[in-house]
Amino acid sequence: MKILVINCGSSSIKYQLFEMPEEKVIAKGLFEKIGEEISFLHHKSIKGDLEFKKDISDHEEGMTFIIKILADKEKGVISSIKEIAGVGHRVVHGGEEFTKSVLITEEVIKKTEEYIDLAPLHNPANLMGIKASKKILPRAVQVAAFDTAFHHTIPREVYLYAIPYQLYEKYGIRRYGFHGTSHRYVARRLVSILNKNKEDLNIITCHLGNGCSITAVKKGKSVDTSMGFTPLEGLVMGTRSGDIDPAITFYLIDKGYSTKELNDLLNKKSGLLGVSEISNDMRNLLQAKDRGDKKAKLAIDVFCYHLKKYIGSYMAVLGKTDAIIFTAGIGENVPYVRRKSLEEMEDLGIEIDEKKNKEARGIEARISRESSKVKVWVIPTNEEIRIAFDTYEIAEGRCARNNEHEIASGASQ
Ligand code: ADP
């Protein structure tokens, strides 16, 4: 069964076409700068790589072009668009409503629209993808996978902020958490690598990419996560501050900053970029640090310190921690960050094997010593495959129901 996974940004469409349940990637690509003068499509498939420069005005036009390439007689990978049985969409905010991936109905679209207020940068783009896909692939099962869904198990005392309760009731102000598909994928992956039941393991998952978040997973369920009402809270990120004293914002308002300027400051000019004054990109900072740049080193050290503090607090939350997982661009590729954020924690049962740590780049690997009570792993994330699985299960369930119906009505004979 062919399943297409779509991740729409405000001016981009990232996609992967899978053969399921074999988990085989048949084609993937990224359409960038949609709505600008020239849009770029980088497409890879078993038939080779393709690059296009096009004038694409919106997501519907972009999706139409992608489907055309996928079904192209010469360079395509499917003989007809009818082969695509399901489309899985990444949706950032599912509020309190969505606790798992769901079949997209008009009601789901309506609810997702209501959450635009909570995710103004993401949900509108996700919805554009859904609407385009429904139009272009009307026969395919459309499924939404929410970033927030995995965190629906977080208890009340954890998701509530200590501000007047009525703000939760009136505006839904609470911790939602994000990157759920990634935390869920790596936690499940480790359960399967270790051949255990998910109920047997307590795991801390560290997703360290441009956005960073950490989750405490107890017996397979998220019980706390660092991102909150928005993806600004928690760890230090590429350009986001993570946790700060909220009074800094009032202080800066008194100094003349507008709400928009503060939003930009904390979301786009802080984090690694803000402290280093060089870059938000860890690769550039590591190079600058190696050249002796003190601010680059400081930015990385601030990043690692906050991470270490969260890891320690989640060990307290979990009581017993069986494993820590590092994932995403930085988590998968930067031994320095992994070592620094876990150093001097031997008394807490964490012993890093420095050789293994240095060697583990972009691959699944255990980086703790044999004797380490807490096992430390690097596991590359794969949100797309998780979404593909959820979509496949829903699509297959629907096919099975249709078959039952056909058999019952004698239509299959
Ligand atoms: P996104 O959140 O946009 O998906 P990624 O997971 O790709 O981000 O992570 C981006 C971060 O990972 C950047 O800071 C980048 O420098 C860092 N990164 C990616 N690959 C490497 C690498 N090989 N070595 C060091 N840092 C890397």
Cβ of 279 closer than 6 Å to ligand 1, yes or no, is no
pLDDT at residue 407 greater than cutoff 60: no
CA dihedral 213, 253, 261, 116 (to 10 degrees): 60
- Mean pLDDT within 316-344: 98
List strand residue ranges (DSSP E) for 79-182, in order: 84-91, 102-103, 141-146
Q: Is the CB of 283 under 6 A from ligand 1?
A: yes
- Structure confidence at residue 411 as a pLDDT band (50, 70, 90): very low
What integer pLDDT is reported at residue 118 of this predicted model?
86
Domains of the chain in start order, with CATH, are 2-146 (3.30.420.40), 197-381 (3.30.420.40)
330 lines ligand 1 (CB under 6 A): yes
pLDDT at 251: 98
SS3 of residue 13 by DSSP: strand
| Closest residue CA from atom 20 of ligand 1 | 329
Is the C-beta atom of 382 inside 6 A of ligand 1?
no
pLDDT of 384 over the 90 cut: yes
Q: Is 9 in the pocket of ligand 1 (CB under 6 A)?
A: no
Q: Are 311 and 214 in contact (CB under 8 A)?
A: yes
How far away, in angstroms, is 91 Cα from ligand 1 center?
22
**How close are the terminal C-alpha atoms of the chain, in Å?**
23
Does ligand 1 have an atom closer than 6 angstroms to the CB of 328?
yes
Instruction: Give the residue whose CA is nearest to atom 19 of ligand 1.
Output: 329
At 266, which helix (H) or strand (E)? Answer: helix 259-268
What mean pLDDT do residues 361-367 have? 97
Compute the distance from residue 108 Cα to the ligand 1 centre, in Å.
33
Please tell me the predicted confidence (pLDDT) of residue 404.
64
Q: Is 407 helix (H, G, I), strand (E, B) or coil?
A: helix
- Pocket probe for ligand 1: among 275, 276, 282, the residue whose CB has the most ligand atoms within 8 Å is 282
Tell me the per-residue pLDDT of 123-182, one tens digit each, with 9 for 90 and over: 999 999 999 999 999 999 999 999 999 999 999 999 999 999 999 999 999 999 999 999
Decide: 95 in ligand 1 pocket, CB within 6 A.
no
Averaged pLDDT for residues 52-71 = 94
Q: What is the pLDDT of residues 214-248, one digit of tens each?
A: 999 999 999 999 999 999 999 999 999 999 999 99
Q: What is the pLDDT of residue 408?
A: 53
pLDDT at 409 over 70: no
Residue among 300, 163, 318, 162 at smallest CA distance from 225: 318
Q: What's the pTM value of the predicted model, to 2 decimals?
A: 0.93
Q: How confident is the model at residue 120 (pLDDT cuts 50, 70, 90)?
A: confident
- Does 412 or 137 have the greater pLDDT score? 137
Pocket of ligand 1, candidates 205, 327, 333, 337: which has the most ligand atoms within 8 Å of its Cβ, to mutate? 333
Is residue 107 classed exposed, middle or buried when 0-12, 13-18 and 19+ CB atoms within 10 A define those classes?
exposed
Average pLDDT of the residues in 291-320: 98
- Scored b (16 or more CB within 10 A) or e, 382-393 reads bbbbbbbbbbbe
Dist. CA 275–CA 299, nearest whole Å: 5
330 Cα: distance to centroid of ligand 1 (angstroms): 5
**Distances 133 to 63, 86, 87, 389 between C-alpha atoms, Å:** 7, 10, 8, 18
Pocket flag, ligand 1, residue 274 (CB < 6 Å): no
- Distance, in Å, from the CA atom of 237 to the CA atom of 211, rounded to the nearest integer, reads 5
Is the pLDDT reported for residue 121 higher than 90? no
Chain center to CA of 176? 14
Please tell me what DSSP assigns to residue 22: T
Q: How far is the CA of 261 from the centre of ligand 1 (A)?
A: 26
Strands (E), 137-210: 141-146, 202-208
Return the best residue to mutate from 283, 285, 303, 307 for the ligand 1 pocket (most ligand atoms within 8 A of CB). Answer: 283
Residue located nearest, by CA, to atom 12 of ligand 1: 329
Chain center to CA of 186: 11
- Ligand 1 centroid–CA 208 distance in Å is 8
Which ligand 1 atom sits closest to the C-alpha of 331? Answer: 12
Distance between Cα 346 and ligand 1 center (Å) = 28
* CA 16 to centroid of ligand 1, rounded, Å: 20
Mean pLDDT of the chain: 94
Q: Whose Cα sits closest to atom 22 in ligand 1?
A: 333
State residue 397's pLDDT score: 86
Report which of residues 11 and 163 the model is more confident about. Answer: 163
- 348 CA distance to ligand 1 middle (Å): 29
**Could you report the per-residue pLDDT of 184-210, keeping only the tens digit for each?**
999 999 999 999 999 999 999 999 999
Average pLDDT of 371-384?
Answer: 97
| Predicted pLDDT at 405 | 57
Relative to the CA of 238, which ligand 1 atom is closest? Answer: 14
**Catalytic positions, please?**
147
Tell me: pLDDT of 348 over 70: yes
pLDDT confidence band for 119 (50 / 70 / 90): confident
Q: What is the pLDDT of residues 253-263, one digit of tens each?
A: 999 999 999 99
Question: Does residue 209 have its Cβ closer than 6 Å to ligand 1?
Answer: yes
Stretch 263-281: mean pLDDT, rounded? Answer: 96
